[in-house]
Amino acid sequence: MDEHVSTAEKYDKVWRGGIYGGFSKNTGGERKTPLLADLIRRLSKKTGDKKVLEIGAGSGVHSLQLLNAKDVFVSAVEHSSIAVQQMKRLFQGRKNIKVIKADMFNFLMKSPAGHYDAVYANAVAHFLSMSDRKRLFGLVKKRWPRTVFFR
């Protein structure tokens, strides 16, 4: 089994256990990070429609805030079906977000270069092994060299 799949499956178990949903929804200090504020500021300065990809979006607390920037469309990718269900409930009726159940590595490999104005992830990369982290950065950098907001 791929290393990144086993990491995602570990998360699936935590989500299914019902503990993580609450943690991710009530992320305390994590809810507002300087990086997220910086990204929202930058997006708000840009005119026209903007597309943001959030990977490992969890319960969607960060995607929800990204939607506050004007003319932003968010694609929120998440592997856990429980988290995806939560996000679908949270974003029901909103037209400027798409929730996608996928493995982020597979999703990134299929995404065309330049399709997003920014790629964002909070608390995702540092739970990966070094080799998966390198692979993730490599995949993102290759397609969107200047638009990466990882924390």
Residues that bind ligand SAM (CB under 6 A): 4, 7-8, 11, 24, 27, 30, 56-58, 61-62, 77-80, 83, 103-105, 122-124, 127
- By beta-carbon proximity to ligand SAM, the closer residue of 44 and 106 is 106
Helix 130-143, helix 3-16: angle, nearest 10: 100
Q: How far is the CB of 150 from ligand SAM (least distance, A)?
A: 11
On whether the CB atoms of residues 91 and 99 are closer than 8 A, the answer is yes
Torsion over CA: 76, 77, 83, 85 (sign): positive
C-beta atoms surrounding 13 within 10 Å = 10
- By beta-carbon proximity to ligand SAM, the closer residue of 64 and 69 is 64
Q: How far is the CB of 8 from ligand SAM (least distance, A)?
A: 4
